[in-house]
Amino acid sequence: MKEETPRRRHRKGSCNRPVHHFGEYPEAPFGTTWNDRAECFNTGVHGQSEPGIHGIKGMGAFSIVVSGQYEDDKDDGDTILYTGSGGRKRSDGTREQTCDQKWSDPGNEALRKSSETGKPVRVIRGYELESEFAPWEGFRYDGLYVCKRARQENNKDGHYLICRYLMERVPGQPPLRRRSPVVGLYMPIPGFEDVQPLAPGPKPVNGRQRIRNRLTALVANDQRIHGPCKELRR
């Protein structure tokens, strides 16, 4: 029996960026970064401007954004406990829930379907995620994961139900970046210096600018830990 293939649509003005696409995405290799959600949406890697799950009810999820919008998210790198959609007011600006999450939510239905099909899901991490694997700035594509489990359970406070998913990273991909203790820097990965390519956009800064930016980050981190030096207090 021939495997079901998602019907491809394309964004306006583009002939090679399908909106409904499982797996790796054209023009966005592992480690591609964007300044914000809008840039990520415009490339088609995540086809939702706000919701964290992009998918179709009967087919599954194409991508998710893990950005720490829910307190029950837990990121251990190769495994992620991901909280579904709904259950809180978008206008209050907090991560606290105000009601139960439901399977009837389109995103929750799609990711639940992925737990049945086993099709890979693109994972994008955001800078607000409280994890050593999150980027310091913007949003970053961190490869493919498979949804191994989908179930409802109580949130950490025990007040409301959440739709929770166990995501496991597909083996054989480049290693994930980890944040360095120094703000703005990452831990080195021997043999994978180019694991985090820049997204298509303006040309990178020159060598002198890179050195200045790194020194600025080091000074800011030192001041955060020890406070401003005497010269800066004057």
Q: What is the pLDDT of residues 143-195, one digit of tens each?
A: 999 999 999 999 988 889 999 999 999 999 999 999 988 888 888 888 776 66
| Alpha-carbon torsion (12, 15, 20, 23), positive or negative | negative
Indicate the residue type of 46.
Answer: H
The predicted structure's pLDDT at residue 200:
53
CB atoms within 10 A of CB 226: 8
The dihedrals phi and psi of 186, each to the nearest 5 degrees, come to: -120, 155
Using DSSP's 3-state secondary structure scheme, residue 185 falls into coil
CA 84 to chain CA centroid, nearest Å: 14
pLDDT bin (cut points 50, 70, 90) of residue 123 is very high
**Cα separation, 87 vs 26, whole angstroms:** 33
Q: What six digits make up the tokens of 51?
A: 């919701």
- The H-or-E segment that residue 54 falls in is strand 53-56
Q: What is the pLDDT of residues 20-29, one digit of tens each?
A: 789 888 778 9
The mean pLDDT of 32-45, rounded to a whole number, is 90
Compute φ and ψ for 109, nearest 5 degrees.
Answer: -65, -40
Domains defined along the chain, listed by start: 33-202 (2.30.280.10)
Of the candidates 215, 196, 217, 197, the one whose C-alpha atom is nearest the C-alpha of residue 207 is 215
Beta bridge partner(s), residue 75: 80
Is the pTM of the predicted complex or chain greater than 0.95? Answer: no
